Each structure stands twice: as C-alpha cells, then as structure tokens.
C-alpha cells in the first residue's frame, strides 16, 4: 500500500513539474512599425489577443521600419499593453531598428523592461542578453548588429569575437539539461546564401553547447533549414500574407513549433493580404517573362504564381510533384535569357521543395 501511494505521489509530482515547465512562446519578427501606427491597429490587436494564450512573446527585430525614436516609443507602448495582460515580452533589435541612428543606450532606455531587467547576463558590447523564462527555458538573445565607437549601428549584421566570447560565457552558465533557444534577427542558414560574417563560428559554438533551436527573422518568410545539430526557423512578417505568428512549445522532451494565423481566413484582412500576395506573384512572373518567347504566356505565368503561393502558404512539399509535371515548368526552363534570380529560385523550390514550417518537432537528442 505504501509503495503504491509513493508511486502515485511521484507521478503527481512529475506531472506538476511538467505542467509548470512546459510553455508556449509566441514568436514575431519584422513588424516594421511606422509613425503611422494607426495603420497597424488590427495587426497589433491580433498580436495582443494571441499573446494572451502564450506564456511569453519574443520580438526578433525590425520592430520599427525607420528606427525613429517615435516609432520605438510606439512599439514599447504596445509591448506594455501585452505585459499588462500578464505575458512577458523579450525583445531584440534588427537592422531597421537603427536606421534612424538610435544608439544602444537609447534602445535600452526604451526597452529595458522587455527582457533586459530580467536577464542574468547582458553583453556590454551589444544588446545581447540571456534570460530564463518562468517555465525555465533559457533564451540566448543575440544582437548581431555591428556598432561603431559611438554605439550606432551601421545596419549590417556580423558576429564579432566579442559577441562569440560573451555567448560562450552565457552558455557556460546554463545548467545541465536546460532547454536553450538561441534567438537573433539574422539567419545563419543556409550558409551559402544567408550567413552573416562569423556564422560558421557561431554555429560551431551552438553545437558545442548542444543548442538545438535557432529562431530568427529578417527574410520576411516563414521557412526552416537545418544542419545535423541545429534547426533554424525563420519567422515571417505579421503584416504580410499569410500573417502567421510562430508558436514554440518548450517541453521536457523537446521543442515543437507551429504557425498560428493572426487572422481568420474569412476576415477581410486575410482576404486582402492573400489577394495582394496573388497579385504580386502574377506581376513577378509577367515581369520576368517580358522580352522572352513566353511573354504573356498565361500557362507560364500561372505556373509561377501557383508555385509562389504554394511556397508562401507552406505547402510546397505537397505541391511540388504536380508542379514538376506541368508544361509551365518546361517553359521557365527554356527561358534561359531571364537573368533574374526569380527563375532560378522557383525552379529550385520545385526541384528541391523545402520542408514546411507549419508544424515541426525538434528533439533534444537529434
């Protein structure tokens, strides 16, 4: 009887620990707020309402479009409305956030209460910091902007020896078996096309400390890439189609990731965003084919548009086989006089469809 009771109590305690430590982290990047913040009202309302269901919200840079102080103050006011609901916010800067010549000190004065004042380590040479969430997840928040001697960023990314040194110190302070998520504005993968200077060294450091998940933005698309030791997830823009927020589930057995639509498909906002993306895809195709033998060829134009929408909506893996069989693909292959990267990009997506970012699992022991 005592053994049965002990086993039952143990199970209850384990369940209680899991319930406390499992958490949902809402992830947003590239809001690009302008001084005309009223134009963002529906997006901000949607973000705020989704944040209620999350245990924390991460903002991964380019929070403003022009880096003006008034824009930053508007972002901070919005974030305060989120924290007032009981959802902590952890923020990082992107390249656009310093295009108005804001200094690091000014950034900290505006955003100190959104991660920095809870951090257990803050880098003195950048706006990087490390913090433990209420659920126990360690967030390695990496500011990969490059600054001059006055603390002003030149709006390009790079990974200095100082950042690497601080990141190694921060990772060395983590406890065994802690869940660690590295976050930054700039992608590291694929190394051939996306890496900022120093990416290889940072990837090696993350591997050394068995960091399995890297969250970023900058590219304005919902995408994923991986190497054997690390999964990178790129978060799209909340103001552009399909207007997804990323939701990271941090759990005892690993991480999982799902996208969460900010707007219902029946809403006017969603319909307008989709129509805008569709119009863009048709314009890109028509513009690229101009001057070729397939100019105004509706089959070729529609083929590209369908591929663009499949990629944007995270279903390229399912659509690629049918796209490969359609005559439109052959027409784009024949249009070799097109020097735009658009042609190579779409043909590559169809031949080597990317994994969908809509639902992923990232185990600790991969």
Query: pLDDT of 186-221, one tens digit each?
Result: 999 988 777 788 899 999 999 999 999 999 999 999
3-state secondary structure of 325: helix
Among 37-46, 277-286, 302-311, name the one with the lowest average pLDDT. 37-46
Quote the crossing angle between the two packed helices 199-208 and 161-172, to the nearest 10°.
10
Alpha helices (runs of H) in 173-259, residue ranges in sequence order? 199-208
Q: Which residues pair with 57 in a beta bridge?
A: 26, 89
Report the distance separating Cα 93 and Cα 116, nearest Å: 12
Kindly state the DSSP code that residue 235 receives in the 8-state scheme. -
* Nearest alpha-carbon partner for 288 in 249, 336, 236: 336
Is the model's pLDDT at 151 over the cut of 70?
no
3-state secondary structure of 14: helix
Asked if 307 contacts 319 with a C-beta cutoff of 8 angstroms, the reply is yes
Whole-number pLDDT of residue 7? 39
Asked if 167 contacts 140 with a C-beta cutoff of 8 angstroms, the reply is yes
Categorize the per-residue pLDDT at 150 as very low, low, confident or very high, splitting at 50, 70 and 90. low
* Nearest alpha-carbon partner for 238 in 263, 258, 216, 214: 263
Within the chain, which residue ranges are assigned CATH 3.60.21.10? 19-263
Kindly state the DSSP code that residue 148 receives in the 8-state scheme. -
Tokens of 53: 């269901």
Q: Which residues pair with 131 in a beta bridge?
A: 139
Tens digit of pLDDT for each residue in 285-304? 999 999 999 999 999 999 99
Instruction: Find out whether the peptide bond into 207 is cis, omega within 30 degrees of 0.
Output: no
Report the distance separating Cα 354 and Cα 358, nearest Å: 12
Report the distance separating Cα 366 and Cα 346, nearest Å: 30
Report the distance separating Cα 199 and Cα 188, nearest Å: 6
Categorize the per-residue pLDDT at 149 as very low, low, confident or very high, splitting at 50, 70 and 90. low
Domain 19-263 matching CATH 3.60.21.10: the answer reads: yes
Count how many Cα atoms sit within 13 Å of the Cα of residue 215 in the half-sphere of its side chain: 35
269 burial level (CB within 10 Å; 0-12, 13-18, 19+) = middle
Categorize the per-residue pLDDT at 158 as very low, low, confident or very high, splitting at 50, 70 and 90. confident
Whole-number pLDDT of residue 14? 37
Categorize the per-residue pLDDT at 254 as very low, low, confident or very high, splitting at 50, 70 and 90. confident
3-state secondary structure of 48: helix
């Amino acid at each position: 009887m005592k053994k049965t009771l002990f086993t039952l109590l143990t199970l209850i305690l384990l369940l209680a620990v899991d319930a406390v430590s499992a958490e949902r982290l809402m992830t947003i990047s590239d809001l690009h707020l302008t001084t005309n913040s009223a134009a963002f009202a529906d997006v901000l309302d949607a973000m705020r309402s989704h944040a209620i269901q999350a245990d924390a919200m991460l903002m991964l840079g380019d929070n403003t479009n022009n880096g003006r102080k008034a824009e930053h103050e508007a972002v901070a006011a919005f974030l305060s409305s989120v924290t007032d609901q009981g959802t902590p916010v952890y923020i990082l800067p992107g390249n656009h956030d310093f295009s108005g010549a804001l200094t690091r000190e000014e950034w900290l004065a505006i955003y100190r209460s959104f991660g920095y004042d809870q951090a257990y380590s803050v880098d003195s040479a950048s706006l990087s910091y490390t913090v433990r969430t209420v659920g126990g997840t360690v967030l390695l928040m990496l500011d990969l902007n490059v600054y001059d001697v006055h603390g002003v960023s030149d709006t390009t990314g790079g990974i200095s020896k100082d950042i690497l040194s601080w990141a190694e110190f921060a990772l060395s302070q983590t406890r065994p078996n802690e869940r660690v998520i590295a976050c930054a504005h700039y992608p590291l993968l694929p190394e051939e096309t996306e890496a900022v200077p120093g990416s290889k060294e940072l990837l090696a450091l993350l591997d050394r400390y068995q960091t399995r998940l890297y969250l970023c933005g900058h590219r304005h698309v919902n995408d994923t890439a991986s190497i054997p030791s690390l999964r990178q997830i790129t978060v799209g823009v909340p103001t552009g189609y399909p207007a997804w927020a990323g939701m990271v589930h941090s759990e005892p057995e690993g991480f999982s990731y799902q996208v969460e639509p900010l707007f219902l498909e029946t809403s006017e906002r969603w319909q307008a965003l989709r129509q805008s993306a569709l119009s863009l895809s048709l314009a890109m195709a028509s513009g690229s084919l101009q001057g070729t033998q397939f100019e105004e060829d509706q089959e070729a134009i529609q083929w590209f548009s369908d591929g663009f929408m499949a990629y944007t909506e995270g279903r390229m893996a399912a659509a690629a086989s049918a796209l490969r069989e359609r005559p439109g693909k052959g027409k784009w292959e024949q249009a070799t006089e097109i020097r735009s990267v658009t042609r190579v990009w779409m043909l590559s997506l169809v031949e080597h469809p990317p994994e969908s970012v809509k639902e992923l699992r990232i185990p600790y022991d991969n």
